């Protein structure tokens, strides 16, 4: 029997047979002391073994160790993700990089963003802002594998968007979608994401869309409209044309459709107004194109960004005359009715948000106008002397400098920027593998 067993046996014997214990006192004392020491050692060993077992179990349970498996997928084209793939998504660490942590504003900046890119509402300029922000911080975008439209197919094993690298998740969704769906957006983005969109005065948006899709992209649908003034021809025949085009229309209440309202309910004004109440709960900010600078100041405050992050140059702007509605407005009213309600609602809400910001909002707005104007001058093709625009720290930003390299990024066309960030994300996948948990 082992020493541990001997000790236990002796104690058990003495407890059970106390009358047999007749050793001299000194010997008994020595023996008891020895047994006590032996028991103490045994107790320490038992306590240590149990503690270590509990610690190991807790550590294993609370530490997320990535498991890698070989996984195949059905991809459209362009990305090979048959590398090691994370089978369980680990919570993405959302702290600023070391060189940014010293700036207090970066400690709380919002990096999870959903932007609804509404057609012909200065949304290309917004994409440049989001691409720049995400690129500088190494964030992951929800991007289509091909083209610039997100279809977000949910068939198991079918990947239609670029996966994030293994051990990470998505941060920003800002590309075109067929229509808004909070359910689809939240499938990819974290729960703390801020939801943002943009609208534009409906008639101007209609005319801009008609001009762009007909004369720039040469849409077969709109190319059917001819005459000396095709847009006037369109207005005079809008009922028959829009009825014929149906869901394929680029002009008929298109903003409402982008926000996810079903076309079969276009005549149900009551239902649409109720739908706006839902949108109010889902979107933290709906920008207004006609109040673009004001909208960007609100955006900067909402996302806790530096002013450097919202500086912009106008992107994808096409020159065409500014129109006002005329006698044809009675004819076009049904095809702008929902967009008009949406726009007026968002404009009112935006103005209310500005008022709630307090009087210092307008001080910041004026400063932002001045800074952005100076950046525009620096980045102008006519500028042949200035190479830098240094800006001193103040209550809205830390020290930063705009360079000609920054100008090149500010001017970068949307498709070029999309391809650029997509290539970067693809390289990460090829290096670290892909997280395909979003598609399982």
pLDDT band at 136 (very low <50, low <70, confident <90, very high): very high
Instruction: Report percent pLDDT > 70 for the chain.
Output: 71
Which of 29, 62, 95 is a domain's end point?
Answer: 62
pLDDT given at position 152: 72
Q: Which domain holds residue 143?
A: 70-359+414-439
First to last CA, the chain: 57
* Residues 261, 243 share a domain: yes
pLDDT band at 334 (very low <50, low <70, confident <90, very high): confident
Residue 39 lies in a domain: yes
Helices 123-137 and 404-411 pack at an angle, to 10 degrees, of 130
* Residues 57, 79 share a domain: no
pTM of the model: 0.75
Which of 62, 81, 99 is a domain's end point?
Answer: 62
- φ, ψ (nearest 5 deg) of residue 141: -100, 150
Which of 18, 36, 62 is a domain's end point?
Answer: 62
Q: Considering only 48-52, 93-97, 150-154, 182-186, which range has the smallest mean pLDDT?
A: 93-97
* Residues 102, 246 share a domain: yes
CB 112 within 8 A of CB 139: no
* Residues 139, 41 share a domain: no
Given a cut of 90, whether residue 424 has pLDDT beyond it is: yes
Q: Concatenate the DSSP letters of all residues of 66-106 into one string.
A: --EEE---EESSS----SEEESSPPPPP----HHHHTSGGG
pLDDT given at position 80: 52
Instruction: Report percent pLDDT > 90 for the chain.
Output: 52
* Residues 178, 57 share a domain: no
Given a cut of 60, whether residue 52 has pLDDT beyond it is: no
Phi-psi region of 246 (alpha: psi -120 to 50; beta: other; left: phi over 0): left
Q: Between β-strands 176-177 and 149-150, what pairing exists: parallel, antiparallel or unpaired?
A: parallel
Give dist(CA 346, CA 189) in Å, integer: 24
* Residues 229, 159 share a domain: yes
Q: Give the Cα-Cα-Cα angle 114, 117, 120 (nearest 5 degrees).
A: 160
Domain tally for the chain? Answer: 2
Where is pLDDT greater, at 96 or 40? 40
Give dist(CA 439, CA 67) in Å, integer: 17
Residue 161 lies in a domain: yes
* Residues 53, 186 share a domain: no
* Residues 169, 48 share a domain: no
pLDDT band at 185 (very low <50, low <70, confident <90, very high): very high
Q: Give the Cα-Cα-Cα angle 207, 316, 205 (nearest 5 degrees).
A: 20
Give dist(CA 394, CA 399) in Å, integer: 8
Handedness of CA 187, 188, 194, 197 (dihedral sign): negative
Given a cut of 60, whether residue 72 has pLDDT beyond it is: no
pLDDT band at 440 (very low <50, low <70, confident <90, very high): confident
* Total residues belonging to the chain: 440
**Over residues 344-360, mean pLDDT:** 96
Given a cut of 80, whether residue 42 has pLDDT beyond it is: no
* Residues 267, 168 share a domain: yes
* Residues 29, 122 share a domain: no
Q: Concatenate the DSSP letters of all residues of 177-200 into one string.
A: ESS--HHHHHHHS-TTPEEEEEE-
Residue 273 lies in a domain: yes
Where is pLDDT greater, at 36 or 260? 260
């Amino acid at each position: 029997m082992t020493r541990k067993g001997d000790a236990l046996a002796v104690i058990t014997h003495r407890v059970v047979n106390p009358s047999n214990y007749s050793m001299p006192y000194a010997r008994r004392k020595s023996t008891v002391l020895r047994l006590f020491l032996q028991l103490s050692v045994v107790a320490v060993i038992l306590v240590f073994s149990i503690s270590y077992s509990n610690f190991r179990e807790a550590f294993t349970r609370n530490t997320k160790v990535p498991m890698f498996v070989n996984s195949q997928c059905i991809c459209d084209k362009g990305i090979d993700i048959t590398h090691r793939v994370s089978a369980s998504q680990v919570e993405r660490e959302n702290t600023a990089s070391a060189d940014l942590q010293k700036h207090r504003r970066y400690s709380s900046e919002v990096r999870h963003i959903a932007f609804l890119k509404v057609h012909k509402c200065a949304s290309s300029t917004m994409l440049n802002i989001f691409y720049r922000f995400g690129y500088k911080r190494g964030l992951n975008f929800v991007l289509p594998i091909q083209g610039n439209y997100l279809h977000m197919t949910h068939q198991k094993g079918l990947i239609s968007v670029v996966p994030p690298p293994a051990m990470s998740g998505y941060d920003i969704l800002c590309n075109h979608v067929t229509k808004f769906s909070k359910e689809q957006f939240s499938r990819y983005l974290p729960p703390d994401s801020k939801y943002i969109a943009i609208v534009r005065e409906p008639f101007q948006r209609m005319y801009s869309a008609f001009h762009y899709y007909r004369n720039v992209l040469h849409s077969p649908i709109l190319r059917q409209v001819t005459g000396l003034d095709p847009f006037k021809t369109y207005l005079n025949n809008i009922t028959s044309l829009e009825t014929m085009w149906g869901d394929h229309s680029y002009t008929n209440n298109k903003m409402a459709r982008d926000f996810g309202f079903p076309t079969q309910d276009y005549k149900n004004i009551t239902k649409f107004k109720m739908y706006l109440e839902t949108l109010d709960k889902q979107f933290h900010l709906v920008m207004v194109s006609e109040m673009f600078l004001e909208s960007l100041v609100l955006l900067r405050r909402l996302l806790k960004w530096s002013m450097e992050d919202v500086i912009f140059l106008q992107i994808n702007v096409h020159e065409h005359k500014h129109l006002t509605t005329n006698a044809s407005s009675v004819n076009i009213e049904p095809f702008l009715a929902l967009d008009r309600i949406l726009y007026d609602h968002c404009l009112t809400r935006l103005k209310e948000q500005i008022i709630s910001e307090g009087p210092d909002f307008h001080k910041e707005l004026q400063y932002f106008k001045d800074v952005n104007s100076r950046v525009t001058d620096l980045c102008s093709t006519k500028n042949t002397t200035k190479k830098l625009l240094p800006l001193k720290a103040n209550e809205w930003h830390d020290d930063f400098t705009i360079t000609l390299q920054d100008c090149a990024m500010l001017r970068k066309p949307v498709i070029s920027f999309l391809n650029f960030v997509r290539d970067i994300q693809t390289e990460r996948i090829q290096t670290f593998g892909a997280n395909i948990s979003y598609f399982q």
